[in-house]
Chain A
Amino acid sequence: MAFVDKRHYCKKKLFSNYFQMLSETLTSIFNKLPARSVHAHCDGPCGVYDPASARIAAEAVLSMTKKLITLAPAGNDQASISAYNNTFSRFVAIKEEESQKTKKELLILWTDYFKPEHLATYPDLHETFWKAAKLCSACKVSIDQTKAEELLAAVQKIHSMFWSSKGRSDSWVTAS
């Protein structure tokens, strides 16, 4: 009787080992199975958004605006005037480029990251982004330090909204 029980136990164990081996082999096959990708899609392309890029661009706008306000020719001779014109043009070009960049980065956050669900928590979300985008345009077409400071403040507000929507509270640190 004990001999029969032992045979039965061995058979059972053999089957158990066999099924475990089969299961492991199948899992390995399924994990390595070549397959076409299906996208659980987000435009990020993987949900990577950060208002830091808008902050850097807005800081550059403020910095270039300040430099433009204080810029003056070194003298009245032709060489000084040419140097002044050259530097002034370069500063304006950078200010305009960075203003455009700030607007682009803000629009990405506004249209791609923030969803209708966020409006419940941030009812002034659209107003904030709309005003910030308008400030980008204002900074682009004029040399106005107040507008540039307002733009940086708007980006800071968006920074706070963004990180609180993710349940985090990253501190606002500027590069300049």
Chain B
Amino acid sequence: MIAGLPQADKGLFQKPDLFTLLTLIIGYRQHLRVVGNSMEGTLKEGDLITYKKLNQKNIDLEIGDIVVASHPKTKNKLIIKRIHRIYQNKFDLRGDNFLSSTDSRDWGLIEFDLIIGKVDKIFSK
């Protein structure tokens, strides 16, 4: 776990609300269900996350952000990781549960194009 992040994550954890449901229905936000344990410490299996797709207005990524990206080796598979380092346009993505995570330590740096969105809300199961 990257030092100091649990505090930063606090704002992400929310209770279900009508506004979020509405933004999901109209497509302003996307939602995904977490599978696996590589983000344990922050995300558990079954948690629902919402994210906003990256676009020209929304490309502000920082170290510590949790992001949704396309798997670099497997087509049509999405992964969720935390940005550990940024090298120009390439990202070192790591799981919070570093002893049980397959991430940039195995795949190498992830291209910006593979990053789909930044997680903005987490609804714990």
B99 pairs with A165, CB closer than 8 A: yes
B103 pairs with A41, CB closer than 8 A: yes
- B64 interface residue (CB < 8 Å to A): no
B16 pairs with A112, CB closer than 8 A: no
A39 pairs with B31, CB closer than 8 A: no
B32 pairs with A31, CB closer than 8 A: no
Which A residues lie within 8 Å of B48 (CB)?
30-31, 33, 35
How many inter-chain residue pairs (CB < 8 Å) link A and B?
A: 98
- A80 interface residue (CB < 8 Å to B): no
> In whole Å, how far is A21's beta carbon from the nearest beta carbon of chain B?
13
Selected from A26, A44, A45, A46, the residue in CB contact (under 8 A) with B16 is A26
Given A30-B48, A31-B125, A47-B100, A40-B18 contact (CB < 8 Å):
no
Selected from A23, A26, A33, A115, the residue in CB contact (under 8 A) with B31 is A33
- B10 interface residue (CB < 8 Å to A): no
A39 pairs with B123, CB closer than 8 A: no
Which A residues lie within 8 Å of B71 (CB)?
39, 41
- B5 interface residue (CB < 8 Å to A): no
* Alpha-carbon distance A136/B79, docked complex (angstroms): 35
Which A residues lie within 8 Å of B15 (CB)?
23, 26-27
> In whole Å, how far is B5's beta carbon from the nearest beta carbon of chain A?
15
- Nearest residue, chain A, Cβ from B45: A40
* Alpha-carbon distance A174/B116, docked complex (angstroms): 48
A41 pairs with B79, CB closer than 8 A: yes
A-to-B contact residues, CB < 8 Å: 22-23, 26-27, 29-31, 33, 35-47, 112, 115-117, 165
B-to-A contact residues, CB < 8 Å: 15-18, 21, 24, 31-40, 43, 45, 48-49, 68, 71, 77-81, 95, 97-103, 105-106, 123, 125
Give 8 pairs: A residue, B residue, CB < 8 Å, sorted on A: A33-B31, A35-B33, A36-B78, A38-B78, A39-B77, A39-B80, A40-B101, A41-B81
